[in-house]
Every structure is written in C-alpha cells, then in structure tokens.
Amino acid sequence: MKTDYFLIQRLRKPTVALDGKIFENPFSFGGGYRRGGLTEEAFNALGKIWSYDYMGAAEFEFGALPESFERIKKNLNEYIFDKVNIEATATDYSGKRIKKIKKDQDVFYFCLRDDQKEVEELLKKFANGVEHDYRSKEYIGLSESIFYEDLRVVGWHDIENDFLFFIDKQMFENFIMMCDPNEDEKQKLTEILK
C-alpha cells in the first residue's frame, strides 16, 4: 500500500434534484473527463449513495475513479468491511485558552483483507486534527467532519490504495449492499451497524 502521499477523494451526501433525479454537478470534476470518467450508469448508481466533492487537482481527473473501481471489482473477493472506533482530535480556539479536544467516533471501512490493520492505523492518523503526520494531495477533513456534524463530507475514497471509509452509516450500508454481499456478509453488516 502506498502511504507516503495520499490521493483521497472526498464524498458528500447525495445531491438529488427537485424532480427526484440524481443531480450531476458540473463542477464536481474540473478539466478532466465528465463524471470523472465514470460511465453514466455507474455515476447514477453511485449518485444514489454519494456525490463527489470537487478536489481541484488533475490527479483526481482523467479516469482515476473508474480505474480504482476496476481494481476493486477485479479483487472484490479479497475485500472486507468493518468498523473501527477512533479518537478524533481537534484544537478548540474558543475562549482564552487553546486546548485539544477529543471525540470518539466509529469509522466504517471497505478494504483489502491484507490491508485491514494498516487502514485502521491510517484512519487514526486522518482523524488527528492536531498533528498531521501524513501528506495528501488535497485536504481530507476527517477530523473536521467528525466534530462539525453539519458538514456534508461523510465519506472518502483512496483512489490509489483502493479503499473507502465513511462516518455515515447509511452511505456505508448502501455501498456495501451495492457490492452484493452474501448472506454471511449481510449478517456481519447488521452487526457492524448496531
């Protein structure tokens, strides 16, 4: 797994137009391919689960998303899903003293079985809003999304290491169901979401 520099696409809650159709934001992707290179069918299916946040960098354009999904699809039998409880940290600048604040949060993830422990450690790093000991092309914002629950960014997709993580249970559940889990996996999903 590449861990020296991260390309993590932020995922927002789905955007639905007034007529009930999935809203295709023309500003989600910049000068690259329309829909980030996803087919209309794939974009519409995913659009029921999430919408894409604009990342502002060419690395997220020109087919990077469908390439990641193709690798996931190719190795789907090697993927697992689970959750990890992490302690998110942030700096509270209110009042006269600056202090570190903490909050426990379940983070749901989908990754290669062999990467599970590493992914859990990465999620702990991403949730540390006080000390950043990782590099990423664009702002990840996991800590901020945990502390400021009104933010619409509630999911992320590492497009190089091909794993996804969420703080939104519904988004996580809908994505796992899209992956067509077997009956044992559906039971595990029910347990995880309790």
User: Half-sphere exposure of residue 45, counting CA atoms within 13 Å on the CB side?
Assistant: 11
DSSP state of 179: T
Domain boundaries along the sequence of the chain: 8-192
Paired strand residues for 111: 80
Tokens 């509630």 belong to 154
> What HEC string does 2-71 produce?
CCCCECEEEEECCCECCCCCECCCCCCCCCCCHHHHCCHHHHHHHHCCCEECCCCCHHHCCCHHHHHHHH
Cα 42 to Cα 1, 51, 72: the distances in Å are 26, 12, 14
User: What does pTM read for this prediction?
Assistant: 0.88
CA 157 to the chain's CA centroid = 4
Q: What is the C-alpha to C-alpha distance for residues 169 and 154, in angstroms, rounded to an integer?
A: 9
Q: One digit per residue, pLDDT tens: the chain, 194 residues?
A: 988 889 999 999 887 666 666 666 555 655 666 666 678 788 888 888 988 887 877 677 777 888 999 999 999 999 999 999 999 998 877 756 666 788 899 999 999 999 999 999 999 999 998 887 889 988 899 998 998 876 789 999 999 999 999 999 999 999 999 999 999 999 999 999 98
Q: How far apart are CA 54 and CA 26, in angstroms?
A: 10
